[in-house]
């Protein structure tokens, strides 16, 4: 049985993916395919390269990785993502999809075509950077002559890219959008517009999942609440164990917990 996992964008909330992956490991569930957008592409790339969830969490904390990728907003001009490129290259032995231990697909938005682009071969770091590139905040990333930005704009939960290769697909949505009472301030407004935009395409993708994990407590955290990383990690971990404990009679849960050799 082949199991795939699709990891959404969501800024700092994407740290919840690490908690989900740790819980899946404890449950004995092996991931055979990974697809990621934005924050999901970062987690997915590290995990596909053989880093354990706890290791990735240490890297995120020690290097301030998410803070580098998504620094505090400034109105002094457009940012460059070169600092994040240095961190990624430092930790990956080879900057190529072929070096991953688990097949990986990363989604970014091609501004020239206006369509999603799925990267799965060749250079790895630039597609990661492109998938995380927030429009109007960072310079678009140029790859083979085209310009790319955040994949969440067109596909924030890239289930489609691995659906045909998997018997079971787990989707992890770290971008919940609930009613927001207070929207004062420019930063808050930009964050809200971004989250609404990213969530607009999630419904269709979610319907293609066999199991969808959406840690409800994430609504308490903002896109840039990077300092709350451990709390966000714990929410993903706890939500996953809760689902497998309380939905253990569901066919997909029983299938995932099967002792069959994959």
**Residues 27/145, Cβ–Cβ less than 8 Å:** no
Q: Is 150 a catalytic residue?
A: yes
Q: Kindly tell me the sign of the dihedral angle through the C-alpha atoms of 144, 153, 210, 53.
A: positive
Look up tokens 């354990």; give the residue: 52
Q: Is 38 a catalytic residue?
A: yes
Compute the distance between CA of residue 210 and CA of residue 156 in angstroms, rounded to an integer.
17
**Residues 144/87, Cβ–Cβ less than 8 Å:** no
Q: Which candidate in 8, 38, 131, 175 is catalytic?
A: 38
Note the maximum CA span of the chain.
56
**Paired residues of 104 in beta bridges:** 34
* Of the candidates 206, 208, 204, 213, the residue with the CA atom closest to the CA atom of residue 253: 213
Compute the distance between CA of residue 37 and CA of residue 155 in angstroms, rounded to an integer.
7
Residue ranges with strand state E in the chain: 3-7, 33-37, 104-110, 115-119, 141-143, 146-149, 168-172, 211-213
**Paired residues of 146 in beta bridges:** 143
Q: Which candidate in 8, 41, 84, 150 is catalytic?
A: 150
Compute the distance between CA of residue 39 and CA of residue 11 in angstroms, rounded to an integer.
6
* Of the candidates 81, 45, 87, 47, the residue with the CA atom closest to the CA atom of residue 65: 87
**Paired residues of 138 in beta bridges:** 79
* Of the candidates 163, 195, 183, the residue with the CA atom closest to the CA atom of residue 38: 195
Q: Active-site positions?
A: 38, 150
């Amino acid at each position: 049985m082949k199991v795939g996992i699709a990891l959404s964008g969501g800024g700092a909330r994407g740290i919840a993916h690490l908690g989900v992956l740790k819980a899946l490991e404890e449950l004995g569930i092996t991931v055979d395919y990974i697809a990621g957008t934005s924050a999901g592409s970062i987690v997915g790339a590290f995990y596909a390269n053989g880093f354990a969830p706890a290791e990735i969490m240490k890297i995120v904390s020690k290097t301030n990785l998410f803070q580098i990728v998504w620094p505090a907003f400034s109105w002094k001009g457009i940012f460059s993502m070169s600092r994040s490129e240095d961190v990624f290259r430092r930790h990956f032995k080879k900057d190529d999809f072929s070096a991953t231990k688990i097949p990986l697909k990363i989604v970014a938005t091609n501004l020239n075509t206006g369509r999603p682009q799925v990267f799965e071969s060749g250079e790895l770091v630039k597609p990661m950077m492109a998938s995380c590139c927030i429009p109007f905040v960072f310079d678009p990333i140029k790859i083979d002559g085209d310009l790319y930005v955040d994949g969440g704009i067109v596909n924030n939960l890239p289930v489609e890219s691995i659906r045909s290769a998997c018997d079971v697909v787990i989707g992890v949505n770290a971008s919940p959008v609930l009613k927001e009472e207070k929207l004062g301030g420019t930063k808050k407004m930009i964050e809200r517009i971004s989250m609404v935009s990213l969530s607009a395409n999630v419904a269709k993708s979610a319907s293609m999942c066999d199991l969808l994990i959406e840690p409800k407590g994430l609504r308490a955290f903002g896109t840039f609440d990077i300092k709350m990383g451990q709390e966000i990690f714990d929410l993903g971990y706890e939500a996953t164990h809760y689902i497998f404990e309380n939905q253990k009679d569901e066919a997909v849960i029983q299938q995932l917990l099967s002792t069959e050799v994959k």
